[in-house]
Structure 1
């Protein structure tokens, strides 16, 4: 039996591994999108992950009330919206900036909770939220001369991720993790297919894209597996700030592959957002 120190250590290692693997997902996705549409990539990654999870669901299905299926759909839609907007933003802004905006999901969680549960944001939480959104402003630079709409799309990915985080927590007490992921990938497959045809693209992948789609699928599945392990070993107050190391990995890939170097505003935004997440998780830990 592992003691708390060993569990915490394992949780941190799993979180760092998750962040690294997901940075590879983003790297492969950005490369793949030079050859196929975003909706096509989302369709194939979702379909493949659905097929990987299908055998794991054998004998696990149970009858669920409508209230559970409603949460399933909200979680699936949030995850679908998050990945779709994240991938779209990767086409137009540096990898590190898209990753930074996606890591703003914890800032959006209180507002998702407000919409779903009518629970107001506690007064003490406004300080880290304001700090975090100052960081977002540094990245987006919302002035007529600098505003890039794709930064807004990148931030919408954080809103989608926040919705999936809140609803995953709601589902965790009622269904298995495999069921949550299976339903998510299945719904994502269904939602992305019409977008493929709306965009005038084809579901048939060119031969040169298959290796990139395979990397996206495998790393995405492994990343989510590591993510679940991280939360098994360590509390969210540890996992959330440690997972921010993924921004560092994304910054490295952006520099190594495309020569992108974060400007002073992106660096300031990074510091503000990380500080906000750190303050929030410390508040959560002190209350726990």
Structure 2
């Protein structure tokens, strides 16, 4: 049963990676619109999808008061992550923006220690440090680098997502259902961004509206899939498969926008993915050792 849950988590996380790659592509295609406006339409679609699923499956809040604060934390940091990611998508090569956002599993390790009090082992600490070094190859921090600001914002997006997914895992373990977590997050994000939309609305053509609706549909698929993934299995067992988004994003960026990341970015991809694989293999080995000890 446990292995079936793990495989389900892997399938869900690969589906989410493809959906989020599509979302980033549509966000970039939508053109010169504020990130807040793009975020609102993305979350509005996800909100209605979540409401429909909740109504069909008769899912609602678990009623546990101790889950209220984590729901808000997940929503706040998730909203920050989306806004930062959308800004990076608009100003960076698609694969670069996606890679910086995929720093989230490493930040999840840090905040699992800080928030959930889970022990961080030396290998995990090494992986986090190595991933940060890899991110510097993508950010390319120079005094005159025009891409420095959006790259740092993209990294902050990964930070926000990492904290948010830590709380997704926390809530999943304490009985909250995925559709409700998505609904709460999407509704919160829409309410937070609505005032900015009302006071600084930018005219959108019919094609832009259609593209943002497609971004919202893709985001809804990605959000439901990744929430289901982290509810099925711990991040340490499945997070490495989330890096398939880089392959999807690089392919879409090349085909649709003709984007080719520079060699420093490729070095950064290699370093970060290597750290992810190293941490994944270490966790697998550690789990096997614990299983044997439990059998004895």
The question of a shared fold, defined as TM-score above 0.5 by the shorter chain, is answered with yes
* Residue in structure 2 matching 1:46, options 4, 21, 43: 43
Instruction: Report if aligned partners of 2:27, 2:211 keep a CA contact under 8 Å in 1.
Output: yes
Task: Give the CA deviation at 1:111.
Answer: 2.8
Instruction: Report if aligned partners of 2:168, 2:230 keep a CA contact under 8 Å in 1.
Output: no
Instruction: Report if aligned partners of 1:237, 1:282 keep a CA contact under 8 Å in 2.
Output: no
Deviates more, 1:105-114 or 1:244-253: 105-114
Task: Give the CA deviation at 1:66.
Answer: 4.2
Q: Quick check: 1:159 aligned with 2:156?
A: no
Task: Give the CA deviation at 1:181.
Answer: 0.7
Q: Quick check: 1:169 aligned with 2:169?
A: yes
Aligned CA distance change for structure 1 residues 69 and 40 (closer, same or farther; 3 Å)? same
- Cα distance in 2 for partners of 1:15, 1:113 equals 19
Aligned CA distance change for structure 1 residues 63 and 258 (closer, same or farther; 3 Å)? closer
Task: Give the CA deviation at 1:9.
Answer: 5.9
Task: Give the CA deviation at 1:13.
Answer: 4.4
TM-score between the two structures when normalised by the length of structure 1: 0.88
Instruction: Report if aligned partners of 2:85, 2:153 keep a CA contact under 8 Å in 1.
Output: yes
> 5+ residue gaps in structure 2?
288-296
Instruction: Report if aligned partners of 1:25, 1:216 keep a CA contact under 8 Å in 2.
Output: yes
The CA RMSD over aligned residues, in Å, is: 2.5
TM-score between the two structures when normalised by the length of structure 2: 0.85
Alignment of 1:18-29 (within 5 A): 18-29=16-27
Which deviations, in whole Å up to 9, do the C-alpha atoms of 1:119-155 show, x marking residues without a partner? 6643332211221111011111222243611100000
Deviates more, 1:157-166 or 1:56-65: 56-65
What's 2:102 paired with?
Answer: 103
Instruction: Report if aligned partners of 2:113, 2:120 keep a CA contact under 8 Å in 1.
Output: yes
What's 1:258 paired with?
Answer: 257
Instruction: Report if aligned partners of 2:27, 2:90 keep a CA contact under 8 Å in 1.
Output: no
Instruction: Report if aligned partners of 2:84, 2:153 keep a CA contact under 8 Å in 1.
Output: yes
Count of residue pairs brought into register by the alignment: 283
Aligned CA distance change for structure 1 residues 241 and 209 (closer, same or farther; 3 Å)? same
What's 1:37 paired with?
Answer: 34
- Cα distance in 1 for partners of 2:64, 2:5 equals 35
- Cα distance in 2 for partners of 1:110, 1:3 equals 22
Instruction: Report if aligned partners of 2:61, 2:180 keep a CA contact under 8 Å in 1.
Output: no
Alignment of 1:54-203 (within 5 A): 54-58=51-55, 59-62=58-61, 64-117=63-116, 121-146=120-145, 148-172=148-172, 173-197=174-198, 200-202=200-202
Task: Give the CA deviation at 1:12.
Answer: 4.3
Deviates more, 1:16-25 or 1:174-183: 16-25
What's 2:293 paired with?
Answer: none
Which deviations, in whole Å up to 9, do the C-alpha atoms of 1:241-283 show, x marking residues without a partner? 2221110111112222222211111011001100111112222
Instruction: Report if aligned partners of 1:75, 1:167 keep a CA contact under 8 Å in 2.
Output: yes
Task: Give the CA deviation at 1:232.
Answer: 6.6
